[in-house]
Amino acid sequence: MKLSRRPRRIRELNAIKQMVQEFTLRKEDLILPVFISDHCNGREKIESMPEVYRWSIDSLLEQIGKWQAMGLNSFALFPCVESQKKCPYGKEALNPESVCYLAAKEIKAHFQDTILIADLALDPFTDHGHDGILDSAGKVDNDQTVDALCKSAVIAAESGFDIVAPSDMMDGRVGEIRRSLDAAGFEKIAILAYSAKFCSSYYGPFRDAISSGQKTPIDKSGYQLNPANFREAMLELELDEQEGADILMVKPAEPYLDVIKSAKENFSLPVAGYQVSGEYSRIWAASKMGWLDLDQCAMESLLCIKRAGADMILTYFAERIASKL
Alpha carbons 265 and 262: distance in angstroms, whole number: 5
Q: Answer yes or no: 197 catalytic.
A: yes
For residues 57 and 99, the answer to whether their CB atoms sit within 8 Å is yes
Task: Give CA angle at 35 (298, 322), nearest 5°.
Answer: 35
Catalytic residue among 85, 86, 197, 220: 197
Closest CA to 192 of 73, 74, 291: 74
Catalytic residue among 85, 86, 220, 251: 251
Q: Answer yes or no: 45 catalytic.
A: no
Strand pairing report for 43-45 and 53-55: antiparallel
Other C-beta atoms lying within 10 Å of the C-beta of residue 21: 9
Alpha carbons 123 and 222: distance in angstroms, whole number: 15
**Element holding 100 (H helix, E strand):** helix 99-110
- To the nearest 10°, the Cα dihedral for 213, 218, 224, 225? 110
Residue 157 phi, psi (nearest 5): -65, -45
Residue 223 phi, psi (nearest 5): -135, -30
Rg of the chain on CA atoms, in Å: 20
Other C-beta atoms lying within 10 Å of the C-beta of residue 236: 22
Q: Where are the beta strands (DSSP E) in the chain?
A: 30-37, 43-45, 53-55, 74-80, 115-120, 163-166, 190-197, 247-251, 271-275, 312-315
**Across-strand partners of 204?**
none
Active-site residue list? 197, 251
